[in-house]
Structures are given as structure tokens and as C-alpha cells.
């Protein structure tokens, strides 16, 4: 019997890896969608939403409208007016309320309809538009799309005596969010993907041995170098990396090693947005020098070709990888490899190695949680990350 089993086994083709759940799913109702909706999501750059304006947004496969009332408070609401389905972002902002441009129904910040110009007075009390808890922090507007009360807010830094907070403009990336989050666990790629241009040469001298531990709030990942130094990177569930990175390209060292908060937010299953903010440890004159350098840099970046156009030229073979020079070179490089894996990476036909230990660790956590959601069983109660656990460059 044992022999037959053995023969059967050797006769089988090499097993492909199967996760039994769609790890990349983001839509409502899917296990992946339910998992993601337990957390606050950044949805818009704060400075791209002036007072009195509304915009359409698409997050995790659903459309919404976001507006900023006269008090300055942003609010995320349903995409369509409950009356006859006009798009709410076309609406007029009146105080902190928004009025639909189709027949003038007006809604307050709680979603309650407060005016229906062509209806009997009192009828408006029957109608409410969906609203979502919304708050602004570090220059980003966050919303919560899950059931019940939102969880407490993660310990993102405030601008304080130690330094400044800088928002980087959000960028649309044409692939599923998970391969970007996985890339944040792939410290080895830095030595290769970012070698041209040399922006990361300091940490590319030796390759780290990667390990990772699950925590109450996500995962902490270690990259051990030959000299014994260990880099600690934090991965907040479900899609945020907190990491200390080398001085930014073109800054001539001004600003030192900032801490980056990078959030990979699903637009739908095949697109995501990178929202990035950083805490830069500069104060006083050094802070002034930092902002001046950044302004110079932003000017250059604005004049450069669009990142996605450069990536398209790389994908089409019109540009040679080593030859690309761009103020946002690391972004070009990252998007070229990550979105180059396809809109949704094929995780069942990969050949993982020990350097993928961080990715494997996160997939185990994610697959476990998604299976629990699929089976309707209790899932992990995620905690708020503690403020005193911070990423370190080497210890």
C-alpha cells in the first residue's frame, strides 16, 4: 500500500501552490473584501480636495463621493443620490451639506436628507444617504467602510518638535494592491531593482536574511545583515508599511533617513493607489533647508515625463532599464517590476525561496483569515499598533 502511494506521488506533476482562497480579492462580500474592510483606509490626498469641492473616488471595487464642507471637514458618502441615482460628486456644497444637482435634494454630514424642494415638507425625513466615518491625518483623508464602529486610529505621527510630516502625491498603480504590499516585504529587491541610479547603494552592499513574526496588529519583519545589524520593518494589517529609508534622491543628504508610511489601497482588484507620507527628522533651519530642497525637487519632478509613461516604454522595450533617469526613479523601477507581474500576480506558479520569507509569512496570515471569513468562523481581533513599536534601520 505504501509503495502504491509512493508511486502515485512520484507520478504526479509537481504540485502547484494552492491557497484555496482568492488572496487578491477586494470587492464587498468576498473574504478578501471583508478582511480589508476591518481597517481605516486612506482614500484621498487632503490637499487635492479644497473646501467646497466634491470628487468621485473608487475604493475596493465600489464608487463613492468625497467632499469637503465649509467647516473644512471632509466626508465620504454614497456615489449616487438615493432619489434617482445622479452622481453626488456633481453636487453643490452648502455649508457642510451637499445638494444633488439633479432635483436639489440636500444631505447633511450624517447622510440625513434635509431638503427636497419639490416634495411635501417632512418627506425628506424618510431619506438618508450612506455616509462613512471620515477623518484627516498626516495630510491624508481616511475612511472606514466596515460594519459597526471603526477601530481606533493607527499611531501615525503628528508633526512635533522632532520633525515634519511630508505628504507625497498619491499615485495610481495598475495592479492589485497585494503585490505592492508583498513587495514591501521583499527587502532583497532593493539591491537589484534600485541598483541603476544608485539611490539605494548604501544598503545594497550585502543581502539581508529575512524573517518575520506575526503580531497583534500585523507583522514585524527583520532583515539581518552580515555585520549583525537587523533592520526592523512594520507591516500594519492590511496594507501599510512603516519603514526607515535612505536619504531621498536629489536631496544631497538633507533630511537624513526619513520614516515612510506607505499605504497600498485597492481601487478594485486590478488597480491600487499608493498613498505615501513621511516623517522627516528636521527642525528649525534644517527644516527650512529641507522644504527648499523638496520644492526644487518637486519642480524637477513636475517637468519630467510621467512615471507611468516611462514604465510603459520599459514594458514595450523602448527603453533600457539601466538607462532610465528620472527624478522619481525608484517609483519607475518599483512600478515596472510590481505592476509588470500582471494586473493580479499568478501566485500559484511561482518559485519562492528563502528570501521570500516575509511574503510567505504574510500570505499564511492572510490565507488563514480569508478562509475563516469564507467559512463564517471567528476571525482575528486585530489590535491597534502600539505607538512605541517603531521601525529601525539597524540594531
Task: Pick the closer one to ligand FES by CB: 104 or 196.
Answer: 104
105 binds ligand FES (CB under 6 A): yes
- Closest to 330 measured CA to CA, from 250, 394, 253: 250
User: Could you write out the three-class secondary structure of 176-199?
Assistant: CHHHHHHHCCCCCHHHHHCCCCCC
- In whole angstroms, the minimum distance from the beta carbon of 102 to ligand FES comes to 4
Q: 156 burial class (0-12, 13-18, 19+ CB within 10 angstroms)? A: buried
Q: In terms of CB distance, is 19 or 102 closer to ligand FES? A: 102
Question: Does residue 167 touch ligand FES according to CB under 6 A?
Answer: no
Give every strand in the sheet of 134-137, ordered side by side: 40-45, 140-144, 134-137
Contact stretch for ligand FES (CB under 6 A) within 33-41, 79-87, 201-209, 287-295: 79-87
Pick the stretch among 59-67, 76-84, 131-139, 353-361 that binds ligand FES (CB under 6 A). Answer: 76-84
Q: How far is CA 62 from CA 55, 57, 266, 267, 389, in A?
A: 14, 8, 10, 8, 33
Tell me if 186 contacts Fe ion by CB under 5 A: no
Q: How far is CA 24 from the centre of its chain?
A: 14
Count of residues interacting with Fe ion (CB under 5 A): 1
32: CB partners within 8 A, 6+ apart: 21, 22, 23, 24, 25, 26, 370
Which secondary structure element, helix H or strand E, spans residue 375, and what is its range? helix 357-375
Using rule CB under 6 A, residue 103 touches ligand FES: yes
Binding mask 326-365 for ligand FES (x = CB under 6 A): ----------------------------------------
Among 81, 113, 219, 366, binds ligand FES (CB under 6 A): 81
Rounded-to-integer distance, Cα 1 and Cα 231, Å: 50
Alpha-carbon distance of 358 to 50, in angstroms, equals 39
- Residue 102 binds which one of Fe ion, ligand FES, none, with CB within 5 to 8 A depending on kind? ligand FES
Position 128 contacts ligand FES (CB under 6 A): no
- The answer to whether residue 187 forms part of the interface with Fe ion (CB under 5 A) is no
CB closer to ligand FES, 91 vs 327:
91
| Burial (0-12, 13-18, 19+ Cβ within 10 Å), 372 | middle
Which of 97/334 has CB closer to Fe ion? 334
User: Cβ closer to ligand FES: 81 or 164?
Assistant: 81
CB of 132 to ligand FES, least distance (A): 19
> Of these, 334, 335, 339, 359, which contacts Fe ion (CB under 5 A)?
334
User: How far is Cα 208 from Cα 228, in angstroms, rounded to an integer?
Assistant: 10
CA distance 236 to 220: 8
CB of 90 to ligand FES, least distance (A): 9
Instruction: Note the residues at the interface with Fe ion (CB under 5 A).
Output: 334
Instruction: Note the residues at the interface with ligand FES (CB under 6 A).
Output: 81, 83-84, 86, 100, 102-105
Amino acid at each position: 500500500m505504501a509503495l502504491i502511494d509512493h508511486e502515485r506521488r512520484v507520478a504526479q506533476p509537481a504540485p502547484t501552490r494552492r491557497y484555496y482562497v482568492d488572496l487578491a480579492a477586494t470587492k464587498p462580500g468576498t473574504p478578501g473584501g471583508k478582511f480589508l474592510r476591518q481597517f481605516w483606509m486612506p482614500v484621498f490626498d487632503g490637499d487635492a480636495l479644497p473646501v467646497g469641492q466634491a470628487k468621485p473616488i473608487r475604493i475596493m471595487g465600489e464608487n463613492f463621493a468625497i467632499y469637503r464642507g465649509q467647516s473644512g471637514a471632509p466626508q465620504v458618502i454614497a456615489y449616487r443620490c438615493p432619489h434617482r441615482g445622479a452622481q453626488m460628486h456633481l453636487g453643490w456644497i452648502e455649508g457642510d451639506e451637499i445638494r444633488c444637482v439633479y432635483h436639489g435634494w440636500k444631505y447633511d454630514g450624517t447622510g440625513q436628507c434635509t431638503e427636497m424642494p419639490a416634495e411635501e415638507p417632512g418627506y425628506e425625513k424618510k431619506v438618508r444617504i450612506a455616509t462613512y466615518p471620515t477623518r484627516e491625518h498626516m495630510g491624508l483623508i481616511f475612511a472606514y467602510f466596515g460594519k459597526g464602529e471603526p477601530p481606533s486610529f493607527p499611531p501615525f505621527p503628528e508633526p512635533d518638535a522632532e520633525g515634519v510630516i511630508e505628504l507625497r502625491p498619491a499615485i495610481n498603480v495598475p495592479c492589485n494592491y497585494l503585490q505592492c504590499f508583498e513587495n514591501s516585504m521583499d527587502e532583497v529587491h532593493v539591491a537589484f531593482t534600485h541598483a541603476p541610479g544608485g539611490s539605494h547603494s548604501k544598503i545594497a552592499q550585502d543581502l539581508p536574511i529575512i524573517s518575520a513574526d506575526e503580531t497583534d496588529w500585523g507583522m514585524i519583519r527583520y532583515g539581518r545583515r552580515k555585520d549583525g545589524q537587523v533592520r526592523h520593518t512594520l507591516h500594519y494589517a492590511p496594507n501599510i508599511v512603516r519603514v526607515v529609508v535612505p536619504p531621498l534622491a536629489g536631496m544631497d543628504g538633507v533630511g537624513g533617513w526619513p520614516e515612510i508610511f506607505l499605504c497600498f489601497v485597492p481601487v478594485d482588484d486590478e488597480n491600487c493607489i499608493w498613498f505615501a507620507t513621511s516623517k522627516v527628522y528636521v527642525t528649525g533651519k534644517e527644516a527650512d533647508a529641507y522644504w527648499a530642497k523638496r520644492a526644487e525637487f518637486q519642480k524637477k519632478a513636475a517637468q519630467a515625463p510621467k512615471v507611468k509613461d516611462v514604465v510603459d516604454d520599459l514594458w514595450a522595450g523602448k527603453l533600457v532599464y539601466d538607462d532610465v533617469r528620472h527624478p522619481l526613479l525608484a517609483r519607475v523601477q518599483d512600478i515596472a517590476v510590481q505592476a509588470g507581474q500582471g494586473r493580479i500576480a499568478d501566485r500559484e506558479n511561482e518559485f519562492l525561496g528563502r528570501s521570500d520569507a516575509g511574503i510567505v509569512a504574510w500570505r499564511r496570515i492572510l490565507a488563514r483569515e480569508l478562509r475563516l471569513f469564507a467559512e463564517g468562523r471567528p476571525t482575528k481581533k486585530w489590535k491597534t499598533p502600539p505607538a512605541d513599536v517603531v521601525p529601525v534601520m539597524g540594531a
